[in-house]
Structure 1
Amino acid sequence: MSSTPSPTPERPTIGVFDSGFGGLTVLRELLRLVPHARYIYLGDTARLPYGSKSHETVARYAVSSAHFLADQGADHLVIACNTATALALDDIRAALLIPVFGVIEPGAQAALSASHKSLFRSAPERTKQVDGGAEKHASPTTSHHAPPPKPAHALVLATSATTQSHAYTRALTALGLRATEKACPLLVPLVEEGWISHAVTAEVLRIYLLEALCEAPDASILLLGCTHYPLLRPLIENTLHELHHPMYVIDSAEATARAVSALLPPSASTEPPASTFYATDSIEKFQRLGSAFLGHPLNEVHLLDLGG
């Protein structure tokens, strides 16, 4: 097994891991926002799904994956897995001496940023129609008796394991936002089947959104709490349009990449990104599915045995 070259201050080595393929959407955004870095991606496909495992087992799997990436030279680590972030972030940070990023907190922070726009749009002093249709903004001081607006409401679509952890609810409420989590267990297998724009997927998504909006009719922010879901973003936005319920859509994969980018120093490097891929099961399947998640072919993937 070839070792990754030692990092330089201008060219960090970023390890990224997930239980499978979804974390490649995080890597896709990292490649766009931090193009000068080296990347090592590990998909622990032999031990997925993490969501059906106990807290202790997930932590053990995640820490072993994190140690592998650190041993390969990673000087930053991104947990590109919602379940591992929810259940093992503290364990991983305790086990490593390098900066560790999860996907939940950046998504919650992005929702907070979007909430300021949502609150303005939904406040009592929002745009009014006057003078035959011309728009005029009412002054915030128009009414001295109007109650303050409620905190923005974020709807989180995620897997059953992530919603059961309530990690997004904790992160969002800590920032002063209201949160409703909706488990969407059928979406991951549909995405992995390649049915990104299939009529069946569209109908399943429509049902999930209708159910969620019955619970959270005033939700103005939609947070994609699974790294598979960015592939469904066009379908999600189209469905929201059809339901006449526009929302700010937050992609936690993109939010995580922005959080990593913000903490790395600017680089003058003109070298293209370099990526090395590992999987703990079926190389052929990882290349086939991974190419769809990453947006370009995966020509070489190394098979890795991390044990049980």
Structure 2
Amino acid sequence: MQQPIAILDSGVGGLTVAKEVLRQLPRERIIYFGDTARTPYGPRPSEEVKRFTREIVDYLVQFTPKMIVIACNTATAVALEDIQSRVNIPVVGVIYPGARAAIGRTQTGYVGVIGTEGTIKSGAYEQALKRLKPHIEVISQACPTFVPLVEKGNFCSDETYETVRESLQFLKGSPIDSLILGCTHYPFLAETISEVMGPEVILISSADETAREISTILHDQGKLAGSDVLPIHQFCCSGDPKIFRQIAQQWLDEQIELTPVVWQVPKIG
């Protein structure tokens, strides 16, 4: 039960999921890997994303995690089933939790999805939404310029606002009442996205729902951590550790303020 929950992402985006896990499951130990040296995953071929995901999982299994969370939507879309077939522990993605949350919030039945080129091209969200509610209307838009902004820590600026406004022009004129942030990087830009879309559009982040799913699975398997000792978390990145640590500390804030954290830059691939 003291085994860690392993969370992987193409960069800093998965920190949105890590924050929710830290908030909802404060006794759980986390090992996080952000592939910041090779981000973004969205424009890359599916086979390359699948290979990168395998390499990260191969690195993470040495820590004997009790669960693997693929916090990258692009990697979830193309590599979830592959990873599930390779390990004998639960592997959770972020697409179905996000889809379930959107189904529960929409009033009109029109749901928007924004994501990387890879995620939107895969059609994974549309498939998940229609499996849950066949007659739902889904309007999707790739926003490839968002991840580079987040990876630079540029969450709020005139450049950010203009980039978001231009990217969402198509959706702005659509009848959606809910918008899935189909990339875990996008919640970093939620304030700007909400400002552009207006108060009538609810933003859906999969992070909260993913953390709930993690909790449910671990509870059902009797693997929730029971120790009162503060866990020591590990945060790893493959690229520049300075900006990664800066963004992580800014985003996680009080969630890691009183918790021991080890920062690492391992070699993979």
TM range (shorter): 0.7 to 0.9
Say yes or no: does 1:200 pair with 2:159: yes
How far residue 89 of structure 1 moved from its aligned partner, in angstroms, is 0.5
Asked if 1:229 corresponds to 2:215, the answer is: no
Aligned length: 259
Letter in 1 for 2:216: A
For residue 169 of structure 2, what is the aligned residue in structure 1?
A: 210
Percent identity of equivalent pairs: 38
Deviates further, 20-29 or 230-239? 230-239
Aligned position for 2:147: 188
After TM superposition, give the deviation of residue 224 of structure 1 in Å: 0.6
Matched, 1:108 2:99: yes
One-letter identity of the residue aligned with 2:211: A
Q: After superposition, where does 1:255-266 map in structure 2 within 5 Å?
A: 255-265=209-219
Q: Is 1:246 equivalent to 2:207 in the alignment? A: no
Q: Deviations over 1:32-79 (max 9, x none)?
A: 011110111111223333223322221121122113222212111100
Report the AA paired with residue 72 of structure 2: C
SS of the aligned residue for 2:119 comes to helix
* 1:301 aligns with one of 240, 263, 267: 263
Assess if the C-alpha contact under 8 Å between 1:281 and 1:303 holds in 2: yes
Structure 2 distance, partners of 1:183, 1:74, is: 33
Query: Structure 1: any 5+ residue segments left out of the alignment?
Result: 1-7, 120-151
CA contact (8 A) 1:22 1:293 kept: no
Structure 2: how far apart are the matches of 1:287 and 1:299? 11
Offset at residue 15 of structure 1 (A): 0.3
| Alpha-carbon separation, structure 1, partners of 2:177 and 2:3 | 37
Indicate conservation of the 8 Å contact 2:10/2:39, yes or no: yes
Match in the other structure for 1:275: 233
Q: Residues 143-158 of structure 1: matches in 2 within 5 Å?
A: 152-158=109-115
The 1-side partners of 2:37 and 2:150 are apart by 19
Bigger Cα displacement from structure 2, 273-282 vs 38-47: 273-282
Deviations, residues 144-182 of structure 1 (Å, cap 9, x unaligned): xxxxxxxx1110111222111111111112222221111
1:219-268 Cα distance to aligned partner (Å, 9 max, x none): 11111111111112222223333xxx612221112221121122222665
Divergent runs of 4+, >6 A:
none
- Tell whether the 8 Å contact from 1:287 to 1:299 is kept in structure 2 after alignment: no
Q: Which residue of 2 aligns with 1:57?
A: 48
- How far apart, in 2, do the equivalents of 1:90 and 1:271 lie? 34
Q: For 1:185-222, what per-residue CA distance to the aligned partner results, in whole angstroms no more than 9, with x for missing partners?
A: 222222233332212212222233331133xx221111
Distance, in Å, in 2 between the alignment partners of 1:277 and 1:79 is 15
Whether the aligned pair in 2 keeps the contact of 1:21 and 1:293 (CA below 8 Å) is no
**What TM-score do the two structures reach when normalised by structure 2?**
0.88
**1: distance between equivalents of 2:10 and 2:149?**
17
Residues 61 and 271 (structure 1 numbering): CA distance in 2 closer, same or farther, change over 3 Å?
Answer: same
Correspondence for 1:85:
76
Q: Greater CA deviation, 248-257 or 267-276? A: 267-276
SS at match of 2:234: strand
Shift of 1:306: 1.3
| Partners of 1:77 and 1:100 within 8 A in 2 | yes
Q: Is the 8 A contact 2:234 2:261 kept in 1?
A: no
| Match of residue 136 from structure 1 | none
When the two chains are superposed, the root-mean-square deviation of aligned CA atoms in Å is 2.1
Q: SS where residue 140 of structure 2 aligns? A: strand
Q: Distance in 2 between matches of 1:38 and 1:193?
A: 27
- How far apart in 2 are the matches of 1:87 and 1:305? 23
CA 1:289–1:213 in 2, change beyond 3 Å: closer, same or farther?
Answer: same
Give the gaps of 5 or more residues in structure 2: none
Distance 1:23 1:63, change over 3 A: same
- What TM-score, normalized by structure 1, do the two folds share? 0.77
For 1:82-118, what per-residue CA distance to the aligned partner results, in whole angstroms no more than 9, with x for missing partners?
Answer: 1110110011000010000001111001111113xx1
